Every structure is written in structure tokens, then in C-alpha cells.
Structure 1
């Protein structure tokens, strides 16, 4: 990053836009005291400052909420929130005061239901993200930096964050806001700055640039069509996956559907309606699954991911959290890519490293992973390229059924477009794709058919021109469809599965 001139005003939300690798993260790490600048000057309230450590930045009122959470999973929520500001009474640690402080901050972000004494490791990703925000508020920020702060949140939590940011603006807090969700930027930002290739390109006020103009500034080229064209309306006579009366505890209730060969089937609905459990169940992760699953017409009982991914079943799952579920961060990029497919390069106990390396090089070219050396740790890559490594890892298993859990969360528009094109190419080649996403535009633009889950059941199905935002929302909010309709659709799916 070089030659960057930027000013964030008190009481304003200043959005920082750009592709992964554009320099956004470097900028906020310099401001937050994580990285030392090699040139230039940083002014805070008009006075020059230089932070040698994040603790110094925090003391000056500069607080960061990074996309990669800083929480310690083996500590409680209260311990994580109070770790940098321990409460003392007469020189002794005051546990009760720490819990009370955590309760106050959780209530401020709208998370009264989170138990301060719960282990962070037991919380879902969306709750951990809200705890991270509460932790930041506890440092009394005057400049709050948010890096993809809503990417893992439910829609109700996003609204709470919006309300919180409005409250902070009214208090005169300045905010730098990084997000790849354009609808958030349009709603929240007062000012926007675009970065590309480590340089500041342009700063403008809200409403001065169209979405297309902003995207073109970010990527330096005409974006064209974000989503590749869908094939003409067609049926999928060969059924790759048939699910009948699938259930698990109270998270899935009598879910039935089928997925054709070469079809992209979207899974939508408000977060927490059973979508994650559906994918995990089909990947052999959940124990005690009820119902019937057929792969290529043959009933199967999936008891482990190892079994699900073997050649007989050909199932792959790109998980929700690439950092904790998809990658081994300290390991080399190449090792991460081949981890799930080593059996394909092994004879006895010997790995054919030449074949493995050739396959990895092929994937790097095919998915356009921006990488210096494949021997570097995968943690050295940008978020978008890390996600591409996860995709490559599972594509190297040559799946017939590819399942994706919100795969574009927190990555830039250019990388998203590349992933959309890849998914359509895979479908055209015969791969069946089960695609859960919280982005309605992706359901509309990518999918041949969409199932909406509501209260852990299939609420309805949308096909072709019926895949609209209004129809998706109506079903997701329970305003259309319902148990009786779902029951009829389940009966039809059962008949098709036979």
C-alpha cells in the first residue's frame, strides 16, 4: 500500500471499498497499531500519533473489530469481553463485576440472551461475532473500525448493528466500515473510499456514484453481468439426490426434495431454519438422522464425512467458516488443497507427489487462485483466495454432489463473480450443486430452483421467473406456503424419489 490520503470525520460512517488484496486490511492494521507504516503521517483529532501496539491504539480510542475474530474459544464470554480491561476491587479480581459489565455490553448490542458464563467455543458463529462487537464497545471507542462486521450475522442481528451504529454516530464516534455487501454500504455509509492494488482511487459522498460505477472503480474494468446466464428452462431427468422425510432432533422436520444432475438448487430462508443442519446431515456429520437419502437412485446411510466423500457417493461440502472448518491455517497452501483427496494420489502408503503437484497446479490455474508460493501458509492469503483454496480442496475429490454453505461470505465482488462462473461451469459439466446462501441476489442469479426453509421445514419451492426477492421473502417470513403446502410438496417429492 502506498500514497494513501484519507480522512474520517467524527460522527460519520466512512466505507472502505475494494477487492480482497486492495489494501483495506493493511490500512486498518496501520491505523489500529498492528502494522507500522513505512512512510506518511497519522493524525488523530489533529495531533500526530504513532502506535507501536494495538493496546496503544485502544488507549487512544481507536478500536478494531476484525473479520477474523480475536475471541479465545476456551474462555467464557465475560472473560473474553473483559480480557483487556480486568475489573479489580481492592487489588483483587472481581468476577461478579466482570459478568455485570459483560451483561451491560451484550444488552447494548441486543444480545441479552447470550450467557456471559458460556464458553465461546459453544457459541455459533453469529453469536461470536456479536460478542466481538460487544468487546469492542467496552473499550469506549472514538474511532471504531469494522471489518466485515455483519458477514456472519443473522438478519435480525444486522438490524441491531445498524441501530448501534446510528447511536454511535449521534455520540460523535467516527467509523471506518469495510463490507462487500453493497446494500449495507448504501444504507450505512455517509462517505465512501475505493481502494485498488494498494492505492486510494477515489472518495465520494453517498449517492454520487451508482453501484456499477463503484464496482468498476473497485476492479478497474467493466463488470459486465455479475451472474453467468442460466441455461434455458429445462428439466433434469436424472435425479442425483433424493431426500425423503429427513429429520434431526428439532432442527429438521420432514424435509423432502430432489436434486437433478447438473442442477443448481438454492436453499434459502432466514438464518437458523435448518439449512446448516441439512448440509451437515447430508455430509454424514449428524448422528441420529431420520428419513431416507438416495444417491443416483440407491439408498445410502451416511455416517461420516469420510464415507460421504468417497468415490461411491461423491459428496463434498464447502463449510460455513473457512478458518475453523475449511482450512488448516498454519499448513502450506498446497497441503491444504490436497488434504481431502490424498487417497487419489496414494498407492499403499506412498504418495505420488508428482501427480499431486500437477493436480494442485491445475486447480490454481482453473480457479485463478492468486498465490506467490504454494509452500506459504494458507493464512497468508486474502479471504477470497482462502475461499478459493477451500473450493479447490473439495473439487480435487471430483464430487458429483457439491454442497456449499454461504461460500461468498466476506469476499469481494470480483472473486464472487469468478465463483458464480465456476459453479455454472461445474453444473454444465454434470455436477449437482446444493447452494445455501443468505444473499437473495445469489438465489435469484445463480439457481435453477430454490427451496425456502421456515421453522425447519420446506416452506415452498420457486422455479424460473418465480425466483424473485418478494417471493423469497414471503416464504422466508412464513407469509406464503406453510405446513399444508409443504406437506403436498413433500408427497410429490416422495413420489418422484420412488
Structure 2
């Protein structure tokens, strides 16, 4: 890559990046959330095109218009979000791009044989080629995804958190595959937050921060402390409201014990007191979102107990969460798909979650609804000229305020926040920080997930750092700093619990 940049709506995801990967080399890509890692590999894999700059494969200039063109050039990516089709067989998935043909039809026998060979190559002979993907556990699906990538005979293989869902035995299999590919001259880009994997596998590493390449170095040339400092590289730049002294006498609003779900949440226990903002930290994808969804009754098959003000609750649905002793509210991550009805007008979006509040027998009190909506608009300083306009006409920051207004109208005693300031301007962020502290000061309990570590430090009284679906460490007081969050998120000390 030469001078590669990528911007989204005026925000630079990558800036003037020069990057080289060599055959027969395992090159680790390091950086915290938002550093530019995902944008880098998406450009390399043809998923997105650069705003500026040039790409070369084996010395030849390329302009990938899609992943198919990248794969034809030998660049294959295994993304963290699996691409398998769950209602098709393993064999179908492994040959979906170029199935073996005979007399103009798919040769089912040859397809099964190809699947057996690929599965044997990755040490997964126990997976039957005719098994539906949906019936496989997540770790087995991840291995099928890797086999699918190997079927394309890559010259450059990109692995994005390829071991995050694997069992210990499968991790060792993947290590062996990667080392074999390296010996055969395949170049490998390895994106991982597991630092012990980087030191065990990689030949070199490149650190990214805020969309820029910071440094490329050989493994062993930089200490772990130096690498973490490269990844952080900044001071707190936002102004946050002052935090009050911890009130340990405040009643516990939300108590969770031994909560587990699928392979994503493992024996979670935590307490959040009234008036407290508790953060959820760690790198993305460690179970933070699943925990919030579980508490709001979105997920099925959750085990463990949840108490609200000391009374056990069965939060089997969002409706049940809203009717708990202290009502729960979830501010979702994606306002456009999970938080708003974009074609609907602003007023109806704000009142949508609390319509029952304005129902008086068979009559709906429209004037009371209007008054409550107007109050929310004033309180949150939502910039709106016409309440009848579609909410899609508002800026991103004002759309986010509408989502907040919608749930605050329900009068929640516990608020679950899922990265609420992502993609909004600094001024709006400051307003939201103040709003959260004001809500906490009024006695609301807040559980707050953010991919911005500085935000967690500035806003939260305590931070629970998650790793592998578990709470790995609790940070507060002087220990609540970016270095401790990053070191725990990366499992620098290698204390990951066994699955």
C-alpha cells in the first residue's frame, strides 16, 4: 500500500498509510478500537476502496472493485464476522464460489471429497461434509471458515481475530496451519488482541493509532510496555463532569450472578448501585454487547440470576425489563437500525417506547404526549425545527439524542448504554457526558459499554474489563487508567481463563 487514506463522511479512518507485507512472513496488525485495523484489511481484501493511494500485489498495481477480484489476485480474508450460510451444508459452503462441475451440473461427490480433504487439512475430520452449518458450535464454524479460505489457495491470507471463538485444541491446529503456510511462502496478516499469540506466531508487527501507522518492528525488538504505549499514545482530550465520592451505602439497583449465554458470556457477576456509572471495557467482541442484550431480555437461553433492588427478576423480554422494579432501558449501538424508525417523524420516535403512559382508558392523550416530547427536546437540547419531519433528516448527534429521549421518557431506574457516542461530534459527546452524570446524581444506575477507553475513564466510577466473555478485572480509583484497561484487554499477563 502506498499513501493509502480512507475517509467516511469527513472522518479519516486511515491517513497516508504506507504498508508492506512479504511472502513467507506473519505480520501482526496491532491497535486499539478505532485505530484503523479493520479499514486496512477491508481495503486489502477488496471490501472497500481507498479514498486515496495505491495498492500493489507482487509489484503490479491493482484496483479491487470487490472481494472476488481480490481473491483472484490471491488475497483472501477470514473476517471475525463469519460468512458461512447456516442453512447450507459444510460441503456447499466450502465450494460455494467455484463448485466442481460435471456435465454442466454440480458434482456432489467431488464436492464432498473436496470438503473432506480441506477438513482433514485443518485437523477437523470430525466435521461431516453434509452437516448443516447451523448445527455446528461456533468454534467448529470458525474452523470451517478457515478451511473455506484455504480452498482459495491464498498468496496473502488475512486473519481477523481468527482464534477468538476457538477451543484450545483448535487454536493449536490453527497455529500449525499458519506456520505451514508461512513455510510454503504464503504471506499472513494477523489481527489479534491476544498478545501471547502475537509473540508466539508473528515475525513482525505494525501498530496503528487513530488511522495512522505508528511503527513496524520485529517481534522481540520492542517491550510489551513500549507496544502498549504506542497503541495509546495520547492524553485525555475531553472534559468530563466531576465524579462524586463513591457512596457505598447506596442500595444495589442491579445485581447479576453467574450469568452465562452460549459461548459468549461466561459466569458474569456484577453489581451496580443507585447513582453509579459502571463501565464495561475491553476490546470489541468480548461479550459486552451480549451482556447488555441479556439484561434487557433480548437473548434466549440465558442462565444465572438477575436482581433489581434485591428482588429476583425474570427478564425474558424487553417488555419484562421495562416492567422491573426499577425499569430498565437499553440505548442501542446502531441508532439507525436498532434505535430509530427512520421514516417516522421525530415526535413519534421519541414517544414510541412510552405510549402506554398516555393511554387513558380508550382515549390517547395526544396533548400530554406533545408536552412530554417538548420537555425532552428542551432537556436534551435537540436541534429540531419541525417535530413532524422524519427523524432521518436530523444530524447523527441529534438522532442519538432522540434515541436517548425515547428511553428517558420511560422513566428508567437502570440504563444500559451500548457505545452511545460512536460517530457523533465532540460537542454532542460533552452534552451526553453531562446528561449521564446528572442522571446518576438523581439516583439512576448506569451500565455503560464504550469502545473509547478515555471515555470510560472520564465518565465511569468503576470499569469492569471483559475478556473472552468474562469479567477479567475491576478498575477504580488510581488503577482506572488506560494502561491497565489495555493490558487487561490484551491479556498481557496471559491469565486468560480456560474455556
- What range is the shorter-chain TM-score in? 0.5 to 0.7
* 1:33 is aligned to 2:46: yes
Secondary structure (helix, strand or coil) at the match of 2:392 reads coil
Question: Could you tell me how far 1:5 is from its partner in structure 2?
Answer: 2.9
Change (3 A) 1:476 1:466: farther
Which position in structure 1 is the counterpart of 2:354?
Answer: 344
Q: 1:190 aligns with which of 193, 204, 207?
A: 204
Change (3 A) 1:139 1:332: farther
Separation in structure 2 between the aligned mates of residue 18 and residue 453 of structure 1, nearest angstrom: 14
CA contact (8 A) 2:37 2:208 kept: no
Separation in structure 2 between the aligned mates of residue 389 and residue 120 of structure 1, nearest angstrom: 39
Change (3 A) 1:189 1:360: farther
Which position in structure 2 is the counterpart of 1:212?
Answer: 229
Q: 2:151 aligns with which of 124, 130, 138?
A: 138
Alignment of 1:66-465 (within 5 A): 66-89=79-102, 91-106=104-119, 108-109=121-122, 116-121=129-134, 128-146=141-159, 148-150=160-162, 153-154=165-166, 156=168, 161-179=174-192, 181=193, 183=195, 186-187=198-199, 188=202, 190-192=204-206, 194=208, 196=210, 200-206=212-218, 207-208=221-222, 209-216=226-233, 221-222=234-235, 235-241=248-254, 260-262=273-275, 282-284=295-297, 294-298=307-311, 300-310=313-323, 313-316=326-329, 327-328=337-338, 332=342, 342-344=352-354, 347=358, 348=364, 355=373, 362=380, 375=392, 399-402=412-415, 425=437, 430-432=443-445
Change (3 A) 1:298 1:52: closer
Separation in structure 2 between the aligned mates of residue 302 and residue 363 of structure 1, nearest angstrom: 33
Separation in structure 1 between the aligned mates of residue 263 and residue 188 of structure 2, nearest angstrom: 40
Separation in structure 2 between the aligned mates of residue 289 and residue 110 of structure 1, nearest angstrom: 32
CA contact (8 A) 2:275 2:444 kept: yes
Question: Could you tell me how far 1:96 is from its partner in structure 2?
Answer: 4.1
Change (3 A) 1:58 1:307: same
CA contact (8 A) 2:414 2:444 kept: yes
Secondary structure (helix, strand or coil) at the match of 1:15 reads strand
Change (3 A) 1:100 1:265: farther
Question: Could you tell me how far 1:114 is from its partner in structure 2?
Answer: 5.3
Instruction: Provide the aligned length of Structure 1 versus Structure 2.
Output: 441
Q: 1:44 aligns with which of 50, 57, 61?
A: 57
CA contact (8 A) 1:340 1:397 kept: no
Question: Structure 1 stretches of 5 or more lacking a match?
Answer: 269-273, 366-372, 479-498
Change (3 A) 1:14 1:294: closer
Change (3 A) 1:259 1:122: farther
State the TM-score, normalized to the length of structure 1: 0.60
Separation in structure 1 between the aligned mates of residue 407 and residue 210 of structure 2, nearest angstrom: 30
Which position in structure 2 is the counterpart of 1:481?
Answer: none
CA contact (8 A) 1:329 1:377 kept: no
Change (3 A) 1:404 1:130: farther
CA contact (8 A) 2:207 2:231 kept: no
CA contact (8 A) 2:80 2:162 kept: no
